[in-house]
């Protein structure tokens, strides 16, 4: 909390950025105290989009929750599905067959590319560019969303994963289409970077702004690209090697200073690494089942799915950070306790540390570079 007593009689200006503001990426509020244009104190206020996600899930059969996880981080529902599927599979001890596991990796990496495209586009919008980077990013995102639509029937709320597999098989044509996107993507990235990476104004605005020191990032539990931009080598795909990630050859790009520019560029590099993973996965994907035999009966009758008493925590490296699902089963068809570790929420906790002492304009881009989605923050 901000100590308003100490501010009494000062010349400070209190402004609420949000909940209706073009650059808070949803209904998020920043209570900011300004001295001129300099930020003296900042308090993030969350909860405007709270919709009781966890309690709803505790009153539904396990399978029905999958569709709700789509709505957490609505830019990459594929990644959300992945985390939840992993948690339930741990709880019930089911494993996805090989082909399904490959499909999961492909979809998760495509989702990562979509997310990073959106982030960079909107970060530039926060910087004051007039929608040009966003629209270029949207052009590429559109191609990937078409793939999502083809495999799952929906562009954004995919609901594609199932316990022990995925919902539908993917045809050879779709795989060829994904291959084509992957092959064409580096050219787009070159174009995008030519516009942005060495742009003088972008460098001036982003370098040495919103520095997040590595020790603070670790202490605050920051994960994902924000942590890696501060130079900490922690990527769950390497640490946990969930799914099939230990079979692919890819690197983890690290930043040096932990400023906004590093957070931007680490994401560009991550997209390149995702492309590597996609290339390998598309080359290696085998034929076979897409759903574990053990899980098949529960697809038709979800209320028969009663995992044994116990608990499980499934986590993945979502594009925003560590996305974890904690489940406690009491042997009934519903989870007894369901908790989401939302990276958007936890990454927001260091917002004030990064913003104090900077200008108003910097606070906006720092918020943009953290990459939050309010659906996930507020749940």
Partner 1 sequence: MKEIEFFVDLIFVNAKGWCLDLLGHFLPDWTVVLVSIIISAVVIMVLGPLVMMYLTLLERKVIGRIQNRYGPNRVGKWGLLQPIADGIKMFTKEDIVPAQADKIIHFLAPVIIVIPALMVFLVVPFGERMTAVNLNIGLLYFIAVSSITTIPIFMGSWASRNKYSLLGGMRTAAQMISYEVPMTLSVVPVIMMSQSLSTNTIVMTQAGDMDLHWFVFTPWGLVGFVIFFLCAVAECNRPPFDLPEAESELVAGFHTEYSGMKFALFYMAEYMNAFTLCGIATTLFLGGWQGPLFPSWLWFFGKTFLLICVMIWFRGTFPRFRVDQLMGFAWKFLLPLTLINIPVAALWFFVPEQLAWIYSVPILAVSLWGLVKLNRSFVPEKRIYPLAD
What's the longest Cα–Cα distance across the chain? 72
What's the angle, vertex CA 277, arms to CA 271 and CA 283, rounded to 5? 135
Q: Does 226 bind partner 1 (CB under 8 A)?
A: no
Q: Report the residue number, 34 or 244, with the smaller CB distance to partner 1.
A: 34
Helix axes 260-284, 172-196, angle to 10 degrees: 160
CA dihedral 269, 271, 274, 278 (to 10 degrees): -130
- Residues between 28 and 47 that touch partner 1 (CB under 8 A): 34, 37
Q: Does 7 bind partner 1 (CB under 8 A)?
A: no
Q: Does 22 bind partner 1 (CB under 8 A)?
A: yes
For residue 262, the minimal CB distance to partner 1 (Å) is 8
- Binds partner 1 (CB under 8 A): choice among 362, 371, 376, 378: 362
Q: Report the residue number, 53 or 116, with the smaller CB distance to partner 1.
A: 116
Q: Of the listed pieces 78-86, 180-188, 217-225, 354-362, which binds partner 1 according to CB under 8 A?
A: 354-362
Q: Does 253 bind partner 1 (CB under 8 A)?
A: yes
Q: Does 201 bind partner 1 (CB under 8 A)?
A: yes
Spatial distance between the Cα atoms of 379 and 374, rounded to a whole number of angstroms: 8
Going by C-beta distance under 8 Å and a sequence separation of 6 or more, which residues neighbour residue 262? 229, 230, 255, 256
Taking CB under 8 A as the rule, which mask of x and - marks residues 149-168 in contact with partner 1?
Answer: --------------------
Taking CB under 8 A as the rule, which mask of x and - marks residues 293-322 in contact with partner 1?
Answer: ------------------------------
Coil, strand or helix at 16 = strand
Q: What single-letter DSSP state applies at residue 340?
A: E
Q: Report the residue number, 70 or 262, with the smaller CB distance to partner 1.
A: 262
Q: Report the residue number, 17 or 298, with the smaller CB distance to partner 1.
A: 17
The residue whose two tokens read 């316990």 is 163
- Among 317, 325, 375, 367, smallest CA distance to 347 is for 367
Q: Does 251 bind partner 1 (CB under 8 A)?
A: yes
- Residues between 124 and 143 that touch partner 1 (CB under 8 A): 124-132, 135-136, 139
Sign of CA dihedral 263, 265, 271, 273: negative
Q: Does 241 bind partner 1 (CB under 8 A)?
A: no
Tell me the pairing of strands 29-35 and 38-45: antiparallel
In order of 189, 197, 215, 333, the CA distances from 133 in angstroms are 11, 12, 33, 46
Q: Of the listed pieces 202-210, 294-302, 338-346, 348-356, which binds partner 1 according to CB under 8 A?
A: 202-210
Q: Does 269 bind partner 1 (CB under 8 A)?
A: yes
For residue 23, the minimal CB distance to partner 1 (Å) is 4
119 touches 127 (CB < 8 A): no
- Binds partner 1 (CB under 8 A): choice among 33, 242, 265, 338: 265
- Binds partner 1 (CB under 8 A): choice among 3, 190, 200, 286: 200
| DSSP secondary structure, 306-337, as one string | -PPSEEEEEEEEETTEEEEEEEEE-SSSSEEE
Spatial distance between the Cα atoms of 283 and 285, rounded to a whole number of angstroms: 6
Binding interface with partner 1 (CB under 8 A): 13, 15, 21-23, 34, 37, 124-132, 135-136, 139, 195, 198-205, 207-208, 233, 238, 251-256, 261-262, 265-266, 269, 273, 359-362, 364
């Amino acid at each position: 909390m901000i100590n308003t007593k100490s501010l009494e009689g000062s010349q400070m200006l209190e402004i609420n950025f949000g909940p209706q503001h073009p650059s808070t990426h949803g209904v998020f509020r920043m209570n900011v105290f300004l001295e001129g244009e300099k930020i003296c104190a900042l308090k993030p206020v969350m909860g405007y989009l709270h919709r009781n996600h966890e309690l709803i899930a505790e009153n539904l059969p396990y399978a029905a929750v999958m569709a709700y996880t789509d709505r957490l981080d609505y830019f990459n529902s594929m990644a959300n599905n992945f985390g939840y599927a992993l948690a339930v599979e741990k709880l019930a001890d089911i494993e996805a067959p090989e082909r399904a596991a490959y499909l999961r990796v492909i979809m998760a990496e495509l989702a990562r590319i979509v997310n990073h495209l959106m982030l960079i586009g909107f970060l530039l919008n926060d910087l004051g560019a007039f929608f040009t980077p966003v629209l270029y990013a949207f052009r590429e995102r559109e191609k990937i969303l078409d793939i999502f639509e083809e495999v799952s029937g929906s562009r954004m709320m995919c609901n594609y994963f199932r316990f022990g597999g995925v919902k539908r098989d993917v045809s050879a044509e779709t795989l060829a289409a994904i291959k084509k996107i992957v092959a064409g993507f580096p050219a787009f990235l070159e174009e995008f970077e030519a516009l942005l990476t060495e742009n003088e104004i972008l460098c001036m605005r982003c370098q040495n702004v919103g520095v997040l020191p590595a020790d603070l990032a670790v202490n605050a539990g920051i994960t994902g690209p924000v942590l890696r931009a501060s130079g900490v080598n922690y990527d769950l795909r390497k640490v946990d090697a969930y799914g099939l990630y230990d079979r692919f050859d890819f690197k983890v790009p690290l930043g040096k200073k932990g400023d906004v520019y590093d957070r931007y560029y680490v994401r560009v590099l991550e997209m390149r690494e995702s492309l590597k993973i996609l290339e390998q996965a598309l080359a290696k994907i085998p034929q076979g089942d897409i759903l574990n035999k053990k899980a098949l009966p529960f697809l038709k009758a979800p209320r028969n799915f009663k995992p044994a008493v116990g608990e499980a925590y499934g986590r993945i490296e979502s594009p925003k950070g560590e996305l974890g699902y904690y489940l406690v089963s009491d042997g009934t068809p519903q989870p007894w306790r369901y908790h989401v570790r939302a990276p958007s929420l936890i990454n927001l906790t260091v917002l004030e540390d990064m913003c104090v002492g900077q200008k108003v304009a910097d606070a906006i881009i720092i918020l943009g570079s953290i990459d939050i989605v309010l659906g996930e923050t507020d749940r």
